Structure 1
Amino acid sequence: MKLLQLITQLFPLWVVSFAILSLYEPIYFTWFSGNLITYGLGGIMLGMGLTLNFNDFKLVFNTPRWVFVGVALQFIIMPILGWVLALLFELPTFFAVGLILVSCCPGGTASNVIVYLARSNLALSVSMTICSTFLAIILTPLLTTIYSGSYLEVDGWGLFYSTLKVVLLPVSIGILFNKFLPKLTKLIVPFSPPMAVILITLIVASIIGQGKEIIIDSAINLILAIIILHFFGFVLGYIISFIVLKDKNVSKTISIEVGMQNSGLGVVLAKENFINPATAIPSAISSLIHSVYGSIFVGLFKNLKQKI
């Protein structure tokens, strides 16, 4: 069990290390492509569902103001930042749309790991992830269509269908599995977080490897845009939520949730709905950047505790 915990807790290290390795030796990871990426994300979302039960949704109603503020900031701050940065850096269409897409994605399970390591409010983190994930079925396609409209015509219904398929279906199956087969679920659940770490690492490394040439040749502006995107996601998430809620620990949690996206979902939606494969690259780079930021904020929040 300690090995499983170690794999999970070192999530940022695995993602960054294997992404760098993929730039040098893409062949180690590019085999994980096509439907395997879709199935990989489905496995991650299924694992998330296995950890949930219907009682978890009570947390949403017990702290509705916290959850509402956090989720609202998630779907307001990040899409606007993504759109503005795409314009400011004059990104080519495929990078701009990919950046906007990942900005419109919900929080992912990685944020729950970071919140746990930062000793913040894990229950709130899980509640926000649940809400933003289900809202993403509608909001991610809608917001992506709105903000990407100036670049190209986006198939909103295609995005909706893809999100439904890779989010709602596996999460719902996981919840029902937990409900009706609790003993079996109890045996599986300890393996769910490390498996999610392995799958997201493979997804990110694969996309980085497949896009090696274009990343090396022309992704400097994109990388800078993503660095700024997640920095302001973390910072504005904390500042605005603290102004509204006046609770430091809650604001730390919301900061992490807003600053970290479900980049795996962004990869799958990009691969399934856009012709240019480079559209998935912003989501892969996003996973690297927010993992590094997450590690920094873990140290910051743990060391400063209630001082910030």
Structure 2
Amino acid sequence: MALFLLGLFLLQTASVFSWSAEFGRNVTTVHIYETMSIPVRISKDFNDKLNCFMTATSSDESILMVDLELFQSDYASHNCHGMLNITGVFLGKAKIMFNQSVTDIKHVLSVATIRQERVIDHIFTGSVIILVSLLYINFGCAMDWSVCQETLRRPIGPLIGMFCQFIIMPLLSYGIGLVLFPTHPEMQLGMFFTGISPSGGASNIWTLLLGGNLNLSVTMTTICTLVAFGMMPFWVFTLGRYIFDRGELAVPYSRIASFAAGLIIPLAIGYLIQRKLPKLCRIMVRIMKPFSAILIIFIIIFAIATNLYLFKLFSLQIIVAGMGLPWLGFMFGGLLAFIFKQTIPDIKAIAIETGIQNTGVAIFLLRVGLKAPEDDLTTVLPVSTAIMTPLPLIVFYVIKLVRDRKQKIPSSDASLDKFKNEN
């Protein structure tokens, strides 16, 4: 009797779970707002109780919506035929699960919703590549090796800056990504790539405006730019690999290697201009600071104007991440410089150099290195960081202006009193 019941149970189990699905075509991507219909056939190995009451569900209906229409058309072979309708809602990846009951999930399809490529998208990517290359040519022209050598004779400042830039910032960006986006590896990746990017040229401008050590800032920017060629691939292939694994993404080894090698070329061109064409070099150095500012503003405005989906992606977590990385960078850089008893101008330079990331390089790497939809989804993090980075610096600059103005007024009154007394 026990054997009979066991055999009956196994037969019922087999009749429930032993079905298979065949699709008319292989689908891995669907465009936003596009509905794709796919022929589907469901068949069973057992012919005792076939029914077509199967369902297809999406793991995330904010990304992908599905509808399965099945009907039993072949009673002899016990097959169910129908159509699977897939509708792209927004950027991202979702899984389509086919089941007869809550526990009977037999087939799972992974489908990505992507944007349809436009000419403006290629223009944006190409313009970012060109502008970043021009910026690195300017870096090559602006490198003052004599100043670097003088600063490196007391290397404590640059060493603090390098530690902050290439140890603290990557770890901070990795931690922020895990905390704020625990189930979204693509957002973790955008945050991480922003954190491993070298310090931005705008740091020199802000250091000058806020009364920091400009020579130290320029030296740190130069050193960080050079060291980034090795440290960015290092972090991507070590700690970043865990993010790629969580998101089931392939690590773009060749693209990242090409990126690192590609930026050396404009840097070398700038150095050759400095050596061979000094007049042209002076002109390029003169425009480097405004050019850096224009680059940041251009990337932000162009990215938003051509990719309005960024507004949909912006959330409280995105804003907090955009604030958290640079603002914490300012704090950690300044605190570490203070602990090592640096001067006030040096503390300002190290803090600013640590917090300001080259978001243009991050966007460039994400756009070139990743495929859709990850290239779109990840871009929002460096854009958010670029928007949020200057906010505390603007506040400090206004405070500095007010303080400087107040200090000048008493000194003017004192001079006037002295003039009256003498007369």
Give me the TM-score of the superposition, normalised by structure 1.
0.82
Question: Which one-letter code corresponds to 1:164 in the other structure?
Answer: A
Does 2:145 match 1:54? yes
Map Cα deviations across residues 222-266 of structure 1 (whole Å, 9 max, x no partner): 221121121111111111121023432211110000010011100
* 1:32–1:243 Cα change, 3 Å: same
Question: Which one-letter code corresponds to 2:320 in the other structure?
Answer: L
Structure 2 CA distance for aligned equivalents of residues 189 and 127 of structure 1:
15
Out of 236, 239, 242, the position equivalent to 2:338 is 242
Specify the alignment match of 2:172 in structure 1. Answer: 81
Task: Judge conservation of contact 1:41–1:200 (CA < 8 Å) in 2.
Answer: no
Does 2:150 match 1:42? no
Could you tell me which runs of 5 or more consecutive residues in structure 2 were left unpaired when the two chains were aligned.
1-117, 245-249, 405-423
Does 2:266 match 1:175? no
Determine which structure has more spread, i.e. the larger CA radius of gyration: 2
Out of 163, 186, 189, the position equivalent to 1:72 is 163
The Cα shift of 1:294 comes to 2.7
What is the Cα-based RMSD across aligned positions, in Å? Answer: 2.3
Could you tell me which runs of 5 or more consecutive residues in structure 1 were left unpaired when the two chains were aligned.
1-26
Count of aligned pairs between the two proteins: 277
* 1:98–1:71 Cα change, 3 Å: same
Specify the alignment match of 2:216 in structure 1. Answer: 124
Structure 2 CA distance for aligned equivalents of residues 222 and 299 of structure 1:
27
The Cα shift of 1:214 comes to 4.2
Specify the alignment match of 1:260 in structure 2. Answer: 356
Map Cα deviations across residues 102-159 of structure 1 (whole Å, 9 max, x no partner): 1011111100000011111000000100111111001012113323222214234532
Structure 1 CA distance for aligned equivalents of residues 283 and 348 of structure 2:
32
The Cα shift of 1:301 comes to 6.0
Task: Judge conservation of contact 2:310–2:380 (CA < 8 Å) in 1.
Answer: no
* 1:186–1:230 Cα change, 3 Å: closer
Structure 1 CA distance for aligned equivalents of residues 391 and 123 of structure 2:
23
* 1:190–1:247 Cα change, 3 Å: closer
SS in 2 for 1:108: coil
* 1:78–1:188 Cα change, 3 Å: closer
Structure 1 CA distance for aligned equivalents of residues 218 and 390 of structure 2:
18
Q: Equivalent pairs: percent with the same residue?
A: 23
**Aligned ranges for residues 145-156 of structure 1 at < 5 Å?**
145-152=237-244, 153-156=250-253
The Cα shift of 1:63 comes to 2.6
Out of 213, 225, 233, the position equivalent to 2:309 is 213
**Aligned ranges for residues 228-239 of structure 1 at < 5 Å?**
228-239=324-335
Map Cα deviations across residues 192-226 of structure 1 (whole Å, 9 max, x no partner): 32233223322222223344224324533122112
Does 2:394 match 1:295? yes
**Range moving further from structure 2, 181-190 or 72-81:** 181-190
Out of 255, 278, 281, the position equivalent to 2:377 is 278
Out of 202, 206, 211, the position equivalent to 1:110 is 202
SS in 1 for 2:251: coil
Task: Judge conservation of contact 1:53–1:175 (CA < 8 Å) in 2.
Answer: no
Structure having the larger proportion of residues in strand = 2
